[in-house]
């Protein structure tokens, strides 16, 4: 048989062969399409770009560097939409499973509200597409994550986007927006994304997991607790308790000590002493926290200690 042509579909190929004697033609695929356990190469490549945080332009450059013809932009976008749906569905399934585990632990330990709804402690924080710690907060997208304290698994992710390239392109050209899957869902400042995303998780906790989040472990950002107290997701008689995160406590105390070293009204030897022992102070706080947590006192006495 002699090779006739190659039919390319992204990184997947079908090779056409023809017999020189009888003229029978055969097709050989670059991968077994009947094997349902294997991820097709095109989906695997697009999934890899999501995992490492690159897009179509970087993928095309990589393909050119290793002398492999890249997939077209339309094929990439089609695969990206397909893979995105699978990732989204898988993520929600995992979050629901995590909620089931947290609910079982709460029922086992008898941590219930007056109406019999299981309650659990959660850890929550926000993250943005652009580092903006103590600088201008102008990230186009952000997310807030809620994690179960007992399972250490994600219970909810709230995503906020205040930019859509297709909408912006239509606006710049003074055209009507084409039909597209628009992710634009936020018009306020980037600083409000965290509080709103966490609030969404609290509002949906009973519907998603049959749980109430009665205690919140988080950083020293007061806007989250303020937002929860304004909306009261579980009714006017249920207040979420805030627990300060030890890591943020250490970071904030370190910043305060560092700020003291720059205040010239204090003696030089005192400022140098503080600067040289900041890590030692952090270690002392950590050991004190571990010692108090291991004691048999009540929670209020532990915190006071």
CB 178 within 8 A of CB 165: no
The set of residues, in sequence order, having a beta carbon less than 8 Å from that of 24 and lying 6+ positions away, is: 18
Tokens 């300060």 belong to residue = 244
Structure tokens at 143: 């997310």
Record the tokens describing residue 255, joined without a space.
């910043």
What is 38-56 written as a DSSP string? Answer: SPPHHHHHHHHHHHHT--H
- CB neighbour burial string for 229-242, b if at least 16 within 10 angstroms, e if fewer: eeeebbeeeeebeb
Average pLDDT in the 117-143 region?
86
Region 193-202: mean pLDDT is: 93
What is the arithmetic mean of pLDDT over 41-68?
A: 92
Record the pTM: 0.75
pLDDT digits (tens, 9 = 90+) for 265-298: 999 999 999 999 999 998 998 898 889 889 998 8
Q: Give, for 14, the enclosing helix (H) or strand (E).
A: strand 12-18
| pLDDT score recorded for residue 134 | 67
The answer to whether residues 7 and 13 touch, using CB atoms and an 8 Å cutoff, is yes
Phi/psi for 156 (5° steps) reads: -165, 145
Q: Which residues pair with 128 in a beta bridge?
A: 142
pLDDT digits (tens, 9 = 90+) for 63-86: 999 999 889 999 998 899 889 888
Q: How far apart are CA 47 and CA 287, in angstroms?
A: 43
């Amino acid at each position: 048989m002699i090779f006739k042509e190659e039919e390319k579909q992204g990184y997947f190929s079908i090779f056409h062969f023809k017999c020189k004697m009888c003229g029978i033609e055969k097709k050989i695929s670059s991968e077994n399409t009947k094997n349902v356990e294997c991820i097709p190469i095109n989906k695997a490549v697009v999934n890899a770009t999501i995992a490492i945080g690159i897009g179509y332009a970087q993928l095309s450059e990589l393909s050119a560097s290793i002398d492999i013809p890249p997939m077209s932009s339309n094929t990439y976008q089609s695969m990206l939409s397909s893979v995105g749906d699978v990732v989204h569905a898988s993520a929600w399934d995992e979050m629901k499973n995590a909620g089931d585990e947290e609910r079982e632990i709460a029922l086992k330990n008898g941590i219930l509200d007056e109406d019999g709804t299981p309650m659990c402690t959660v850890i929550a924080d926000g993250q943005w597409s652009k580092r903006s710690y103590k600088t201008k907060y102008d990230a186009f997208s952000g997310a807030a994550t809620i994690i179960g304290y007992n399972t250490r698994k994600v219970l909810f992710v709230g995503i906020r986007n205040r930019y859509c390239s297709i909408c912006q392109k239509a606006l710049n050209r003074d055209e009507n927006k084409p039909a597209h899957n628009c992710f634009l869902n936020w018009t306020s400042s980037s600083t409000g994304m965290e509080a709103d995303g966490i609030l969404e998780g609290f509002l949906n906790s009973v519907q998603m997991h049959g749980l109430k989040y009665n205690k919140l472990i988080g950083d020293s950002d007061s806007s989250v607790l303020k937002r929860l107290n304004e909306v009261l997701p579980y009714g006017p008689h249920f207040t979420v308790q805030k627990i300060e995160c030890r890591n943020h406590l250490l970071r904030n105390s370190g910043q305060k000590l560092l700020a003291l070293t720059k205040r010239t009204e204090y003696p030089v030897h005192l400022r140098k002493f503080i600067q040289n022992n900041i890590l030692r102070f952090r270690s002392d706080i950590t050991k004190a926290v571990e010692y108090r947590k291991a004691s048999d006192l009540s929670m209020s006495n532990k915190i006071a200690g």
